[in-house]
Amino acid sequence: MPPTRRPLARAAALGLIALASAVAAQDVSPERAQQLVRMVRQDCGSCHGMRLSGGLGPAITREALADKPLDSMAATIYNGRPGTPMPGWRTMLSEADARWIAERLAQGFPDEQKVRP
């Protein structure tokens, strides 16, 4: 490929990756979103604090996660962190669920009332 087209091809590939990630995150229904918020608030909150500002586990607030890549956050949610108390949630979540949670954590996690269908 000529050098002048490489940046365009790279930009197109990055655009497709971003689009695929956005589509995967939108696969969560309103009902599932409500379940996921409840799960994060209750199950994750038991270690990360009920306000997600830290406890046994570190804070998972928007500010605490500001420099963390979404893919890394989703992978941690889905697979856990070996050698730490952080379990993988793959038996209860799909990869799209984990990505949805990571995106919401990065934005500032909502309350249950804000995601009701």
Mean pLDDT (the chain, rounded): 83
**Rounded average pLDDT over 41-55:** 95
Domain total of the chain: 1
In which element (H, E) is residue 22 found?
helix 6-25
**CATH code where residue 22 lies:** 1.10.760.10
Let me know if residue 19 belongs to a domain.
yes
The fraction of the chain above a pLDDT of 90, given in percent, is: 68
- Going by pLDDT thresholds of 50, 70 and 90, the confidence category of residue 15 is very low
Residue 95 within any structural domain of the chain: yes
Question: Is 1 part of any domain?
Answer: no
> How does pLDDT run across 61-72, given as a tens digit for each residue?
999 999 999 999
Task: Work out the angle between the directed axes of helices 95-107 and 6-25 (0-180°, nearest 10).
Answer: 100
Give dist(CA 112, CA 69) in Å, integer: 25
Question: 104 — phi, psi (to 5°)?
Answer: -70, -40
Radius of gyration of the chain (CA): 16
Asked, for residue 35, whether it belongs to a domain, the answer is yes
Q: How many residues does the structure list for the chain?
A: 117
Question: Average pLDDT of 105-109?
Answer: 94
Q: What is the domain range of residue 67?
A: 6-115
